[in-house]
C-alpha cells in the first residue's frame, strides 16, 4: 500500500493586483514507504508549493483543492485544519536555509530538546533522545556537538542539526526542499549519503526537491518532473535521466548533461536551449502547458490537455505521443 498519495492538488493564490496565481494545477504523486523520490523542475514550476502542501504549511489564503491520503486514510482536503497537524501525520519538512530554523542563542542540545519535548518524550528521556538524534545525523562526538552554538558549526553541520530537528518527531516522510543548494558538492554528497542511510536504517521516505538532475542518479529510486504545476513525467531514475519520454524532460536532461544549468536562485532563469519560456502562474491555457515550446507538438496539443499515460516499466507521462 502507498504511504502517501497526493491526488490532483490545485493551489491558487489570490493576488490583489494580478490575476489568480496557479501554483499547482493538478499535481498527483504516490510515495511508497522507504522510497526516495527526486522532484525536478525549473524555478516557478511549483515544487515548493507542493512541498508545503504535503507538510501542512499555511498557504496564506490560497485556494486549495485535491486529496491527500496517508496509509490509505483520508486527511480531508488540502489546506484544511485536519491536514495541518504535521507531526501527527509523520511528515517533516526541511528547507534551504537551515540557519533560519536555528536559534543563534541556544546550544544544539537546547534547540533539539525543545523539539524532542514537543513530541511526547518524558523529562528523563530527553538527554538520551538528543544524543541519539545527534548520532543519527553524524554530528559526532555527540557530547561535543551538543554544547555548540550555531555560529560554531559549518554550513553542512548546521544543515545536519536542522535535519536532526526534523527527525525529532519520528517522521515517516521527510520533504527536503533545496536542502543542499547553498552547500559545496562534497558536503552535498555527505548529506545525500546521510539520507540514504536514514532510509536504509529507518525506512524513512524522502522527497528530495532539487533543480540539479545529475546529483540524484545514485540516490533517488524515482524521479518526478514538474512543469507548470503538474508532474509531467514520473519514472525510475535511470529511465528519466537517460531515456526520458516527455519532449520537455528530454530537453531538460540534454541541458543538464551539457552543463547548461537552470539555476533556482536566479529568479527568472530559463532553459536557454528551449525556445520560449515556461508559462508563469498567471497564465491559463486549455491544452498542454508545454505545447507552445514543443518541437513535437500535434494539432490538438494547444486545445486538449494530455492524459496521464502509463508505460510499461518506464513510468508515467503526460504527453499525447504516449496516449493510446
Ligand atoms: N504566496 C504566493 N502568492 C502568489 N503566487 C505564488 C505564491 N507562492 C508561489 N506562487 C507562485 O506559484 C508558482 C510556483 O511557485 P513555487 O512553488 O515556489 O515554485 P518552485 O519552488 O518550483 O520555484 C510561481 O509562479 C510563484 O510565483
Ligand atoms: Mg522552490
- What was the pLDDT predicted at 76? 56
Q: Is there a domain that residue 315 lies in? A: yes
- What was the pLDDT predicted at 222? 98
- Span 184-200, average pLDDT: 93
The model's pLDDT over 227-253, given as tens digits with 9 standing for 90+, comes to 999 999 999 999 999 999 999 999 999
Number of domains within the chain: 1
Give the DSSP letter string of 119-181.
Answer: TT--HHHHHHHHHHHHHHTT-SSHHHHHT--GGGS-HHHHHHHHHHHHHTT--SEEEEESTTT
Q: How far apart are CA 142 and CA 96, in angstroms?
A: 24
Q: Is there a domain that residue 159 lies in? A: no
Q: Is there a domain that residue 59 lies in? A: no
Q: How far is the CA of 284 from the centre of ligand 1 (A)?
A: 15
Q: Is there a domain that residue 264 lies in? A: yes
Q: Is there a domain that residue 92 lies in? A: no
The pocket around ligand 1, CB under 6 angstroms, is made up of 13, 15, 21, 23, 41, 43-49, 60, 280-281
Tell which atom from ligand 1 comes closest to the C-alpha of 177.
21
Whether residue 47 has pLDDT greater than 90: yes
Ligand nearest to the CA of 43: 1
Q: How far is the CA of 41 from the centre of ligand 1 (A)?
A: 13
User: What cell numbers appear for 300 in the block?
Assistant: 490538438
- Span 98-118, average pLDDT: 90
Q: Range of 309's domain?
A: 226-322
Whether residue 32 has pLDDT greater than 90: yes
Q: Whose CA is nearest to atom 14 of ligand 1?
A: 46
Q: Is there a domain that residue 317 lies in? A: yes
- Span 175-195, average pLDDT: 92
pTM of the model: 0.92
Tell which atom from ligand 1 comes closest to the C-alpha of 11.
12
Q: Is there a domain that residue 295 lies in? A: yes
Q: How far apart are CA 204 and CA 208, in angstroms?
A: 12
Q: Is there a domain that residue 118 lies in? A: no
Amino acid at each position: 500500500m502507498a504511504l502517501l498519495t497526493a491526488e490532483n492538488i490545485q493551489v491558487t493564490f489570490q493576488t490583489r493586483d494580478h490575476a489568480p496565481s496557479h501554483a499547482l494545477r493538478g499535481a498527483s504523486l504516490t510515495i511508497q514507504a522507504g522510497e526516495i523520490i527526486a522532484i525536478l523542475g525549473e524555478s516557478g514550476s511549483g515544487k515548493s508549493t507542493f512541498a508545503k502542501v504535503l507538510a501542512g504549511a499555511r498557504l496564506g489564503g490560497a485556494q486549495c483543492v485535491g486529496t491527500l491520503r496517508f496509509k490509505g486514510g483520508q486527511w480531508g482536503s488540502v489546506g484544511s485544519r485536519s491536514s495541518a497537524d504535521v507531526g501527527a501525520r509523520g511528515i517533516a519538512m526541511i528547507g534551504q536555509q537551515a540557519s533560519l530554523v536555528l536559534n543563534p542563542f541556544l546550544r544544539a542540545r537546547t534547540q533539539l530538546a525543545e523539539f524532542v519535548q514537543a513530541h511526547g518524550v518524558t523529562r528523563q528521556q530527553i538527554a538520551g533522545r538528543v544524543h541519539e538524534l545527534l548520532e543519527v545525523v553524524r554530528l559526532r562526538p555527540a557530547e561535543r556537538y551538543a554544547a555548540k552554538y550555531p555560529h560554531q558549526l559549518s554550513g553542512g553541520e548546521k544543515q545536519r542539526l536542522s535535519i536532526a530537528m526534523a527527525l525529532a518527531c519520528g517522521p515517516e516522510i521527510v520533504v527536503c526542499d533545496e536542502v543542499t543548494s547553498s552547500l559545496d558538492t562534497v558536503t552535498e554528497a555527505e548529506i545525500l549519503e546521510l539520507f540514504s542511510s536514514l532510509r536504509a536504517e529507518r525506512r524513512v521516505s524522502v522527497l528530495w526537491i532539487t533543480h540539479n538532475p545529475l546529483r540524484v542518479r545514485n540516490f533517488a529510486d524515482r524521479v518526478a518532473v514538474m512543469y507548470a504545476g503538474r508532474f509531467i513525467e514520473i519514472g525510475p531514475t535511470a529511465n528519466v535521466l537517460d531515456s526520458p519520454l516527455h519532449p520537455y524532460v528530454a530537453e531538460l536532461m540534454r541541458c543538464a548533461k551539457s552543463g547548461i544549468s537552470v539555476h533556482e536562485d536566479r529568479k527568472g532563469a530559463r532553459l536557454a536551449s528551449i525556445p520560449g519560456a515556461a508559462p508563469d502562474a498567471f497564465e491559463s491555457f486549455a491544452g498542454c502547458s508545454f505545447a507552445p515550446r514543443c518541437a513535437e507538438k500535434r494539432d490538438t496539443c494547444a486545445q486538449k490537455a494530455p492524459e496521464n499515460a502509463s508505460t510499461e516499466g518506464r513510468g508515467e507521462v503526460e504527453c499525447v505521443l504516449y496516449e493510446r
